[in-house]
Structure formats: structure tokens, C-alpha cells
Structure 1
Amino acid sequence: MDPHDLPPGGLNEKLGVQIVEASAERIVGTMPVEGNEQPYGLLHGGASIALAESLGSIGSALHAHPLGKIAVGVDINATHHRSARSGLVTGVATAIHRGRTSASYEVVVTNEDDKRLCTARITCALIDADRV
């Protein structure tokens, strides 16, 4: 399955998420800070989490597809280390478990200076495609 065959989804479009690299093992995406700030002008933590969930979900979907399954998120947690006021942030999701019934990814979001902004972990359940 080509990652470009996946529908972008309305939230990803609104956030400005761009997928740079995608495989079941590693997914890289970017997102602008502009338009994704909270009231104090800082990158919104929820935007970082949405980026992380998108990247982990794409990886899970790429893993699930050959198994005849689809991926649905069941858990996400995140720690915010610092924020950003401008530029692009980059998320790198790396598989930490790819099984028959679940997949988990660690996602590290960094700023343009490669400083860590957020660390997240997402787990997706892999369910039979005909159950949806």
C-alpha cells in the first residue's frame, strides 16, 4: 500500500500536515506552527498530539493492510518538553511493536533546531477490514 493512497483526512489538512516519508517501520511528517498556536502564541499541545497520532496511525495502517486489517487508535499519551513559536515541526514515528492485533509507535516531535518538543506513544488495534 502506497502511503499516498491513504486519505489525508480533514484534520491533517487543517493542521497543514505533510507526509515526508512513510513505511510500516518509520513515518516522518511536518506541520507548521503558524495556524496551530494556542492563545499565548505557542504551538498548541493538542496539535503536537494530533500530528503524533496521525503518523502512528499511518504506520499502523501500512502494517495492517497486508494482513487484511485496518488500524484504529486505542491509546495515546504524550509528554511536552518545550514549545515553538514559529517554523515547521517534524514528527518521526518509529515502530516499537508490530503484531497481528496491535501496533505501537514512539513519536518524537522536534523543532527546526532538532530540539525535542514532544514525545508520544500511540497504540492502534488491528481489526479485520470487514468489521468496519
Structure 2
Amino acid sequence: MDEAKKIETLERLNKASKNTLGETLDIVYTDVSDNHLTATMPVTPKVHQPYGIMHGGASCVLAETLGSCLSLINLDLSKSVPVGTNINSNHLRAIREGIVTGTATFIRKGNTMHVSQIEIRDEKGNLINHTTMTNNIVPVGKV
């Protein structure tokens, strides 16, 4: 992906987040290529669970957002769309504050199925969460 396409894709994804859960959680896309997508999310009280650490659901939202959008940017949306069918998320380390960075990469990029892994890390590079996600690739009109 050339630099102009990268900038355009990031701008499009960030603009599309308006009035979505991604905007509510302050998810911002920061890097993209044909095979990976990266975004950040601040860890503040609005994503905490009652014990003052990031809620596992917030990790899942970031992971699923990245996995879905990685598939989305790799499809001709006039022909097919990604539909999430499975997510498996492992919460490995607690975090109370700061910024987490999630990066989705393809494990398999097929014609009918995309499988991605998403790693969420803290600012020190510690692995906070590891998620795998499956998207079925469905012809437009069949959803």
C-alpha cells in the first residue's frame, strides 16, 4: 500500500467511526497496510470494570473493531462484505491507565474466510490481550 492510499484509508476509517462504539471508546486508527491494521485506545475510567482495570469487553471491542476493519479494507464492498462469526479473546495482563495499541494481522486471507489475530499491548510493549477472530466473506445481498 503506497503512502497516499495509507493516509486515505486511515482518514476514511477514522471518519467512519463517528457516532459508533469506536468513537465512544476513543479508538483511533494509526497505521495500516494490506495485511495489518493498528489503532489506539485510551484506558480511562470509562473503560474500567468495578475493580479499576480495563474491562475485558473493552479489549474485545478494540480487537473486533480491528479484525472486522482489516477484512473490510481488503474487500471489494460492491461484491462482498465481512461478517464476524467467531472471536476468542485471552485477557493476559491488567491495565489501569494509559494507552493500549491493538494490531490486527491476517492468519488466513481466503476468498470466503478471513482469520486474524489481534495483539493489544500497553505503552511498554507488554501483551495485554491476544484475540483471534473469524470473518466469513459473504456476497452482497446474502447478509
Give TM-score, length-normalised by structure 1: 0.92
Q: Pick from 80, 93, 96: which aligns with 1:85?
A: 96
Query: Which residues of structure 2 form unaligned runs of 5+?
Result: none
Q: Note the C-alpha offset of 1:23.
A: 3.2
Give TM-score, length-normalised by structure 2: 0.85
Distance change >3 Å, CA 129–CA 99, structure 1 → 2: same
Residue aligned with 2:57, SS: helix
Paired with 1:103 and 1:67, the residues of 2 have a C-alpha distance of 18
Segments of 4+ in structure 1 off by > 4 A? Answer: none
Paired with 1:65 and 1:122, the residues of 2 have a C-alpha distance of 20
Q: Pick from 115, 122, 128: which aligns with 1:111?
A: 122
**Could you tell me which residue of structure 1 aligns to residue 33 of structure 2?**
23
**RMSD of Structure 2 on Structure 1 (CA):** 1.7
Distance change >3 Å, CA 108–CA 65, structure 1 → 2: same
User: Number of paired residues?
Assistant: 132
**Could you tell me which residue of structure 1 aligns to residue 84 of structure 2?**
73
Q: Note the C-alpha offset of 1:64.
A: 2.1
**Could you tell me which residue of structure 2 aligns to residue 42 of structure 1?**
53
Q: Pick from 5, 8, 26: which aligns with 2:12?
A: 5
Q: Note the C-alpha offset of 1:37.
A: 0.6
**Could you tell me which residue of structure 2 aligns to residue 122 of structure 1?**
133
Q: Note the C-alpha offset of 1:62.
A: 1.3
Q: Note the C-alpha offset of 1:131.
A: 2.8
Cα deviations across residues 56-105 of structure 1 (Å, max 9, x unaligned)? 00011112227821111000001111111101000011111101111011
Residue aligned with 1:63, SS: coil
8 Å CA contact 2:89, 2:131 repeated in 1: yes
Residue aligned with 1:40, SS: coil
Q: Pick from 54, 62, 65: which aligns with 1:51?
A: 62
Paired with 1:67 and 1:115, the residues of 2 have a C-alpha distance of 39
Per mean C-alpha deviation after superposition, the further-off stretch among 84-93 and 23-32 is 23-32
Paired with 2:11 and 2:141, the residues of 1 have a C-alpha distance of 22
8 Å CA contact 1:68, 1:128 repeated in 2: yes
Amino acid at match of 1:32: P
**Could you tell me which residue of structure 2 aligns to residue 61 of structure 1?**
72
8 Å CA contact 2:90, 2:131 repeated in 1: yes
